[in-house]
Amino acid sequence: MKTNPWMKLCKGAILALAVSYGLTYCHTTKSKLTLEQKGDSLTVIHITNPTNYILLPIEEEAAESQVLLDTGEAADTDMDIRLAQTQVDYFVSFALPTGAKTATVRVRNKSKDALCWKEIKLSDTFDTANTEKFRPVYHHTPLYGWMNDANGLVYKDGEYHLYFQYNPYGSKWGNMHWGHSVSKDLVHWEHLAPAIARDTLGHIFSGSSIVDQENVAGYGAGSILAFYTSASDKNGQIQCLAFSKDNGRTFTKYEKNPILSPADGLKDFRDPKVFRYEPEDKWVMIVSADKEMRFYESKNLKDWNYMSSFGEGYGVQPCQFECPDMVELSVDGDTNRKKWALIVNVNPGCYFGGSATQYFTGDFDGMKFSCDSQPNVTKWLDWGKDHYATVCFSNTGERTIAVPWMSNWQYCNIVPTKQFRSANALPRELSLYTQDNEIYLSAAPVPEIKTLRKEKKEIPAFTVANDYHIDSLLADNDGAYELALEITAGEAEIMGFSLFNDKGEKVDIYFNLPEKRLVMDRTKSGIVDFGKKSVPHEIEVHDRRKTTSINYIDDFALATWAPIKKENKYMLDVFVDKCSVEIFLNGGKVAMTNLIFPSEPYNRMCFYSKGGSFQVDSFNAYRLGL
């Protein structure tokens, strides 16, 4: 991944400062830092000739302190930062005003004897070189800090803009900004500065973006408009607008925000999705509203009127609706037969616990969505535990490209990484198909992924009667590869394979044909003990997830499964990347995404069968890299 001047890579360029307690003066050649400590309630940091950053020491288990760059403006906003109390887990950068002669930073709720005051540093650079063994090779991740939902996905002038929920001040959730990366091909991403920062209205929660081609909002033809939720205890959850005139690099917030508030004072009212409804020459906004989606319309993108709602009592129960999206797609490629797919991310409510993505197919008449299925029917877009907040790019023409967040709210804050947390799953192209007189949504990896293939190992066809070993999968695969298989079921009842390493850590992927299931088992995949710290949501204290999953040990150590049709032949694509396994069956008709944390890459395979043999007709392994 490329970086730009926003975040210069450096090694050892830090201007270290010796800090003691009380009123303390700290000197570099040009810069001076003074701590004015007023008990445990307030510390004022005075800086003359500021460097670009203060480097703040973080302890993940410490309580949050409030850190404010004091410019004297009404827009000054506290950031909640876990400053080190007794140990330093890592550093984050806190930007200082460029070209200023002085700067003042106020820190509340940090004891004067905390370790952070000894470790705080000034620097003109911040080292973002990767330090994590589990950072993916070819999946999008933040340079550092926390990331969750993809936001504001939009394509313009040859660039895919991926905005995302981002905390630049730690690798746990907090201080929601819209982070920003761009790509020309969906696989090589360039990190840019955060696009929309937390402000006095609150955190910048999820939302969507459009290209205003006809200057409807009045900010210029071709402006990018971002619709997002501002969230705070004081203001609740309200929908806001920002606009960009420089191809999405920077945004100006609409001076009359918010543009939409819940008329009934609803607490959970967020994640606006805006799209064009051509038959009526208008714009539609969908907002997640507790356990339903609410639909609004507008002619000018600023004034919104309520139309209808959908979802109460539909799909998995209990649940909380979040991050909506809705797209019109051809069924089975027939452009004369179209349906709408309403994507609804739910948390909690996943079949295996925590967060997941369900969808509904039906019709939309410009005012209301009518579902084809009965309320008790649940359709999942992915059958793993680590696929959530799936939303689609706007302005991509005939293509419908979705990007999921690859984690689960049950344990996302405690996975075994520190420099960063979370990645996006592979971008997926969506389409509708029919099966048994029902319409389903498929999700296939975008074809651009094939450009990552660096080395191919073609394995001749073979028959698996009991087991079949491949002792060397790919030399120097770095835990990043693709497996493409075509399988004939034969007489086997159980057929599959293990990916494993020399330490015996493994992931099992297999077909249970009598039960018509495709299974991925990560109970022995490597580091799994952190799953014991997972805490189910208060409305998910039932044991359903323990019985619907397989080999349940805790909310991480388990196996997930997808229902499949019993067929003679199967095509299976498997993508492994350091800390994840994604499988796609028959071109994306079934998808399953799960995190893994092996102590070393899986470099060996063992195929196995029970109840008869099966045939591997075609098997290609590809090393993947940027």
Helix (H, G, I), strand (E, B) or coil at 358: strand
DSSP secondary structure letters along 29-80: SS-EEEEEEETTTEEEEEEES--SEEEEEE-TTSPPEEEEE--S-TT---EE
How far, in Å, CA of 219 to CA of 225, rounded? 9
Nearby residues of 442 by Cβ (< 8 Å), 6 or more positions away:
430, 431, 432, 433, 587, 588, 589
Q: Which two tokens stand for residue 597?
A: 């944390």
Contact 389, 323 (CB under 8 A): yes
- Decide if 578 contacts 456 (C-beta within 8 A): no
User: What H or E segment, with its residue span, contains residue 127?
Assistant: none
3-state SS, residue 117: helix
The answer to whether 68 touches 78, Cβ cutoff 8 Å, is: yes
- Rounded to whole angstroms, how far apart are CA atoms 234 and 303? 23
The answer for residues whose C-beta is within 8 angstroms of residue 69's C-beta and 6 or more apart is: 76, 94, 95, 96, 97, 103, 104, 105
Catalytically active residues are: 149
The residues, any chain, with a CB within 8 Å of residue 520's CB and separated by 6 or more, are 384, 507, 508, 509, 559, 560, 561, 581, 583, 592, 594
Q: What share of the chain is helix, strand, coil (3-state, %, to 5)?
A: 5, 50, 45
Look up residue 567 and give its amino acid: E
CA distance 324 to 66: 32
What's the one-letter identity of residue 197? A
- What lies within 8 Å, CB to CB, of 460 at 6+ separation is none
CB 453 within 8 A of CB 595: no
160-192 b/e with 16+ CB inside 10 Å = b?
bbbbbbbbbbbbbbbbbbbbbbbbeebbbbebb
- CA angle, 370 then 408 then 373, to 5°: 20
Name the DSSP class of 5: G
Q: Which class for 232: exposed (0-12), middle (13-18), buried (19 or more C-beta within 10 A)? A: middle
- Residue 389 phi/psi, 5-degree rounding, is 55, 40
Q: How far apart are CA 296 and CA 310, in angstroms?
A: 12
Give φ, ψ of 240 to 5 degrees.
-130, 170
**DSSP secondary structure string for all residues of 157-202:** TTEEEEEEEEETT-SSS-S-EEEEEEESSSSSEEEEEEEE--BTTB
- Distances 257 to 135, 239, 297, 464 between C-alpha atoms, Å: 38, 8, 17, 63
For 69, the token pair is 């760059």
Distance CA 521, CA 558 (A): 6
How far is the C-alpha of 17 from the C-alpha of 121, rounded, in Å? 6
Residues 607 and 509: beta-carbon distance below 8 Å: no
> From the CA atom positions of the chain, what is the Rg in Å?
25
